[in-house]
Chains A and B, each alone.
Chain A
Amino acid sequence: MKLTMHNYRNENDYWRIRQFLWDVMIANGLRQLSWPVMRLDYWRFFGMINNHPFATLPEIIFLWETPDGQLAAVLNPEDPGSVFMQVHPAFKTKELEEEMITTTEEHLSVTRNGRQKLSLWADSQDAMRQDILNARGFIRGKWTESQWRRDLDKPIPDVPVAVGYTIRSLGDESELPARSWASWRGFHPNEPDEKYEGWEWYRNIQRCPLYRRDLDLLAAASDGTIAAISTFWFDDYTRTVYIEPVATVPEHQRKGLARAVITEGLRRVQRLGALRAFVGGYEPGPDALYSSTLSPECDRSDSWVKEW
């Protein structure tokens, strides 16, 4: 079937892509061979606004459609030069993959030190895409996303909470500065405090369609300080949940807080009807936590890079 490519046009396309990602997730048996909807939301409402406001959506999102208007594939970066291909399995062909990669090379690379650079992500079992990338001069990059998962059909075991800490939901707006500060300390432990840019970004997190404050969990120390955080995104359409982010403030690390917060979140989403939980890790420390807290089962998505 002949597919037609066009740039992202308007808000309506955004919501069509969400529906497309739901369909793809279900068609793929609840595996992350394309993005979960939550990741698109997080990228759009947070990443594109607060983290990497590097372009407009029409400039960097490309859609492939059937003659009757059904979405077959979507191409988008997450960060500049780091690109993801979302493909419905019913339409996955060598020709489509090549066309998408060509579009990536033409429109989504970045220039650094006078050279074009590009990173494309491929599932570790996706031989078709890997062969195409190899043939076009891509090589395996250094990053791999381990997509840990856990089916929620069994009881979630108890995990003791370290003495002096309480696991609870995030409070109202008055607690956003503290929540934001915990993120800063958890993800930027070696950066000077002067670089901290405030907490207003957190309002954009709360704008995401799947956000629920009762699934935005934290561990609070006895003095009220937020010591660890973990936000759960329950997608009632696919009955999956995605955990993003997970962090512990350095002074409170190695007390099992992240494990306790994740475990509480798993219990809550299990009660809501979630069937499967996902979390992504890129480094040995988080991977060890996730594999032991969720399960050793995971898919792996590898970066493939090209410079020219």
Chain B
Amino acid sequence: MKPVQRNYRDENDYWRVRQFLREVFLFNDRREHSWHVARWDYFYWHLFKNCQVCRSMEEVVSIWETADGRIAAVMNPIDPNEAFIHIHPAFRTPELEEEIIIHAEQTFSNIRQDGLRRLYIPVDEDDQFRKDILRRLGYAGIGHPGYEHYRDLDAPLPDAPTPPGYTIRSMGGLDEYPARSWASWTAFHPNEPDESYEGWDWYANIQSAPLYRRDLDIVAAADDRQIASFCTIYYDDATRSAVCVLDGTAAPHQRRGLGKALLCEGMRRLERMGCTRLFAKATDPAADALYGSVMNVREISETWIKDYKS
């Protein structure tokens, strides 16, 4: 049965993709060969709604369905020229995977100044199946790697003391959104002028994700009540797994162990809720080192690139 591509249509598709990702995740023994449902939520509520990585979901998200309406694969960007492919192992064939990649090339790659288009496609380090197809289609594995860490929560958790002068607690109410947003700004945009800061309204969307819980939105507050560090975790009770979707430390408070203390507190809370595995993905050495210090499995996701004419 050959799945047929169609564009994302409406909110109902958002929920159907969530269910599909859960099935695929369980089918893959809870490994992230496709996205965890928390990443889909984060994509929709933050990258799409806040960062506006694409104009509309209908334009850039594609779904491959069987004749009886079952989702076989989903493809979406996170940047205008980076395609994420989620595919159910039961439907994984070279033909379908190649079709998805070619569709991505035609759908949402940017045109550069030199007139070429560039598409990035992530692939697990040990995924020879996809690599063979990418190679055949003219891709090369020269992009920036990602480091996917996870930890099973069935063993005693590491101890990470809270540095003196800080308090670890859950995120507060609406009156704390501005402080939380400012902490994100200083953590992720340390070299940008403050005038570029665009306010805190975006944070309501983070909290609108179905898996958001304020008690898993953990912050380290300094003595002066400023939020120094934060760690937002989405817990999926259907798969008993969680993803750290946002974490950072404001520049003045870095290198004091706050990130590690927050992650450990998050794991303790998750364990009490019945969660058995936590994921976090790093794309820079500092985050890679942080996650590596508290998580015991690290997998590499390569990025393959193709430059081509329109």
| Interface positions of A (Cβ within 8 A of B) | 11, 14-15, 18-19, 22, 168-169, 171-172, 206-214, 234, 236-237, 239, 271-273
A168 touches B173 (CB 8 A): yes
| Residues on A with beta carbons closer than 8 Å to the beta carbon of B240 | 15
Which residues of chain B have C-beta atoms less than 8 A from A272's C-beta?
Answer: 208, 210
**30 A-B residue contacts at CB 8 Å?**
A11-B274, A14-B274, A19-B238, A169-B214, A172-B170, A172-B172, A206-B215, A207-B272, A207-B273, A209-B235, A209-B237, A209-B273, A209-B274, A210-B237, A211-B213, A212-B212, A212-B213, A212-B214, A213-B170, A213-B213, A213-B214, A213-B215, A214-B212, A236-B18, A236-B211, A272-B208, A272-B210, A273-B14, A273-B15, A273-B210
Q: How far is the CB of B30 from chain A (nearest CB, A)?
A: 13
Tell me whether B207 is interfacial, beta carbon within 8 Å.
yes
Min CB–CB distance A71 → chain B (angstroms): 15
* B238 and A214 form a contact (CB under 8 A): no
Interface code B18-49, partner A: CB below 8 Å = 1, 0 otherwise?
11000000000000000000000000000000
Nearest CB on B from A256, distance (A): 23
The residue of chain A having its C-beta at the shortest distance from the C-beta of B237 within the complex is A209
Which residues of chain A have C-beta atoms less than 8 A from B211's C-beta? 236
Which residues on the A side are within 8 Å of B214 (C-beta)?
169, 212-214
> In the bound complex, how far is the Cα of B73 from the Cα of A2, in angstroms?
36
Given the known inter-chain contacts A172-B169, A213-B214, please indicate yes or no for A15 contacting B15, CB distance below 8 A. Answer: no
B68 on the A face (CB < 8 A): no
CA distance A271 to B45 in the complex (A): 12
Q: List residues 80-124 of chain B with CB under 8 A from any CB of chain A.
A: none
Q: Is the CB of B173 within 8 A of A271?
A: no
Distance, CA A266 to CA B164, complexed state (A):
42
Q: Given the interface contacts A18-B237, A209-B274, A237-B238, does A273 sit within 8 Å of B11 by beta carbon?
A: yes
Which of chain A's residues have a CB closer than 8 A to the CB of B18? 236
Chain B residues with Cβ under 8 A from A213's Cβ?
Answer: 170, 213-215
Residues of A within 8 A of B272 (CB): 207
Q: Using CB atoms, name the residue of chain A closest to B236.
A: A236
The CA-CA distance from A22 to B170 in the complex, in Å, is: 29
Contact A169 B173 (CB under 8 A): yes
Query: Closest residue to B209 on the A side, CB-wise?
Result: A272
A-side contacts of B207, CB under 8 Å: 214
Chain A's closest residue to B273 (CB) is: A209
State the CA gap A206–B19 with chains docked (Å): 25
Q: Return chain B residues, CB-CB under 8 Å to A168.
A: 173
Nearest Cβ on chain A to B22's Cβ, whole angstroms: 8
Interface residues of B in 248-294 (CB under 8 A from A): 272-274
Specify which chain A residues have a CB less than 8 angstroms from the CB of B238 in the assembled complex.
19, 22, 237
Residues on B with C-beta less than 8 A from A206 are 215
| A169 to B204 Cα, complex, angstroms | 14
Interface string of B154-185 (1 = CB under 8 A from A): 00000000000000011011000000000000
Query: Which residues of chain B are within 8 angstroms of A210 by Cβ–Cβ distance?
Result: 237
What's the least CB distance linking B250 to chain A, in Å? 21
Complex: chain A residue closest to B238, CB-CB = A237
**Interfacial chain A residues near B173, Cβ < 8 Å:** 168-169, 171
Closest to A274 in B: B210
Q: Evaluate contact between A271 and B210: CB separation under 8 angstroms.
A: no
Cβ–Cβ < 8 Å partners of A237 in chain B: 19, 238
Besides the contacts A18-B237, A213-B170, what 19 more A-B pairs have beta carbons closer than 8 Å?
A11-B274, A14-B274, A15-B240, A15-B274, A169-B214, A172-B170, A207-B273, A209-B235, A209-B237, A209-B274, A211-B215, A212-B213, A212-B214, A213-B213, A213-B214, A236-B18, A237-B238, A271-B208, A273-B210
**CB closest chain-B residue, reference A204:** B272
Measured between beta carbons, the chain B residues less than 8 angstroms from A18 are 237
How many Å from the CB of A45 to the closest CB on chain B?
9
Q: Which B residues lie within 8 Å of A19 (CB)? A: 238
For the complex formed, measure the closest distance between the CB of A198 and the CB atoms of chain B, giving whole angstroms. Answer: 20
Closest A residue to B240 by CB, please name it: A15
CA of A22 to CA of B19 in the docked complex: distance in angstroms? 12
Chain A residues with Cβ under 8 A from B169's Cβ? 172
A236 touches B210 (CB 8 A): yes
Chain B nearest CB from A81 CB (Å) reads 28
**Shortest CB–CB separation between residue A208 and chain B, in angstroms?**
8
For B170, list chain A residues within 8 Å (CB): 172, 213
Known contacts A209-B274, A214-B207; is-contact A239 B15 (Cβ 8 Å): yes
| CA distance in complex: A172, B173 (Å) | 9
User: Most chain-B CB neighbours within 10 Å: which of A171, A209, A210?
Assistant: A209
Residues of B within 8 A of A236 (CB): 18, 210-211
Give the shortest distance, in Å, between A291 (CB) and chain B (any CB). 28
A17 to B213, CA, bound (A): 23
Nearest 4 interchain pairs by C-beta: A236-B210, A209-B237, A213-B214, A212-B213
B155 to chain A, nearest CB (A): 15
Specify the chain A residue showing the minimal Cβ separation from B204: A271
Complex alpha-carbon distance, A265 and B179, angstroms: 26
Nearest CB of A to B238, in Å: 5
- A213–B238 Cα distance when bound, in Å, is 19
- Tell me the complex Cα distance, A169–B215, Å: 13
> Which among B15, B172, B213, B272 has the greatest number of chain A C-beta atoms within 10 A?
B213
Chain A residues, Cβ within 8 Å of B212: 212, 214
Contacts of B235 in A (CB 8 A): 209
A209 to B211, CA, bound (A): 10
